[in-house]
């Protein structure tokens, strides 16, 4: 199988434990995200206890189950860290 064929045929199946993140760990995550956003110009967001985003099969990648917490990361394509 050629590399391109392997990439196109790749899929993922992930199953996560359905348990909440500990309050102290949430606080640590939120602080780290706040610092990273301030330093990098990114817009990282922590989404907690939201099961809908991965509720169906992703059309190009695979199947996820039990996902309730995840990070959303966004940046403008024109961000240049050296010009901040």
Domain boundaries, the chain: 3-78
- In the prediction, which pLDDT does 65 show? 75
DSSP type of residue 42: -
- Does the global pTM surpass 0.75? no
pLDDT at position 66 over 70: yes
Give the tens place of pLDDT for each residue, 20-54. 899 999 999 999 999 999 998 889 999 999 888 77
For residue 32, give both structure tokens.
């780290």
Does residue 37 come out as left (phi exceeding 0), alpha (psi in the -120 to 50 range) or beta? alpha
> What distance in Å separates the CA atoms of residue 77 and residue 47, rounded to the nearest whole number?
23
How much of the chain, in percent, has pLDDT values that exceed 90?
A: 31
């Amino acid at each position: 199988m050629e590399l391109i064929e392997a990439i196109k045929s790749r899929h993922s199946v992930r199953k996560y434990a359905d348990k909440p993140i500990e309050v102290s760990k949430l606080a640590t995550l939120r602080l780290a995200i706040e610092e990273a956003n301030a330093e990098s110009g990114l817009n990282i967001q922590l989404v907690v206890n939201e099961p809908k985003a991965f509720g169906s099969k992703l059309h190009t990648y695979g199947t996820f189950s039990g996902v309730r917490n995840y990070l959303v990361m966004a940046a403008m394509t024109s961000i240049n860290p050296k010009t901040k």
